Copies of this chain bind each other. A is one copy, B any other.
Amino acid sequence: MGEKYSKVTLLEAVNLAMKRAMREDDNVIVLGEDVGANGGVFRATLGLREEFGFKRVLDTPLAETMIGGLSVGMAAQGLKPVAEIQFLGFIYAAMEHLVSHAARLRNRTRGRLSCPMVIRSPMGAGIRAPEHHGEAVEAMFAHIPGVRVVIPSSPARAYGLLLAAIDDPDPVIFLEPTRLYRMNPQPLEDHGQRLPLDTCFTLREGSDLTLISWGASVHESLQAAAQLEEHGVSVEVIDVACVSPIDMDTLEASVRKTGRCVIVHEAPRSCAVGAEIATSLYERLWLDLQAPIQRVTAPDIPPPLFRMEQHYLPQVADILQACDDALNYA
């Protein structure tokens, strides 16, 4: 039994998960820019330095390639590094280490070495932040065999999934929607229970249409579902949560039931995770779909500066329009 909190934000849940993991296992260490004295620019690592000291909470020099490479070396030695990339827009310099090393060390050595590391990073737009602070490029990582890509959309899922990610024997890219960091605090018990890294979460059951989403867009999806309910439309809402590998069985079962599907994500449309899910659903449900799958996404443009970001992000109205199209498809 762990401590019970009545109001925990997603950000605090991330913090609680790291604290617990570090208490449970001395091999868990945290590194990144400003994670120590400052507790992270969002305060996700608040209090870790005080509790676990300089040796386990490491402020790095300013170099993302280095953060990626160091983590690989640490993980190969049996540590469990949890590295923070300050914003997802700054992860690109670490790409070579993620693709060419973290994702491959186990395979390359036939299991002799492995890479149990977690890269945490805030993702997504919607907080009026400066340029490069609003990226949602999970698709790039979801295309890398050998890593897992996890995106929580509630405090409870952030907590349980991050604990599982830290446990996982392979590299996990853990993306935290900044727009949700301080939204909707919820009761949470710090019980240490892990959530599975290979299942979707059905947030709402329904029979007429399946809304599939992940990250911050889950919230607009839930709102859209609530509005449709008022009009007598029963919508199932699923948070994919783990966008690689994807639990297609759960998605398939839902859409088999409803026959209609709308996918909502914040990333630009082309070659995003939505296309993979749609294709896999078509492959599995060719005869059961009642209408083509709709995608509600950002357009294929870089995240605009913040004056335009509300348009860039899928809104409830956009989702409702797509649901309409799916429901009224002749």
Contact = CB atoms under 8 A, between A and B. Distances in A.
A273 B276 contact: no
A145 B302 contact: yes
A271 B301 CA distance: 19
A271 B275 contact: yes
Interface of A: 65, 89-90, 92-93, 95-96, 99-100, 103-104, 107-108, 131-132, 137, 139-140, 142-143, 145-146, 244-246, 267-268, 270-276, 278-280, 282-283, 286, 291-293, 295, 299-302
Contacts of A245: 270, 300
A72 to B, nearest CB: 13
Contacts of A93: 65, 93, 95-96
Nearest to A302: B104
A6 to B, nearest CB: 39
Contact of A95 (B95, B282, B283, B300): B95
Contact of A275 (B276, B300, B302): B276
Best-buried of A107, A146, A279, A293 by chain B (most CB within 10 Å): A279
Contacts of A278: 275, 278-279, 282
A93 B100 CA distance: 11
Contacts of A145: 268, 270, 299-302
B271 A282 contact: no
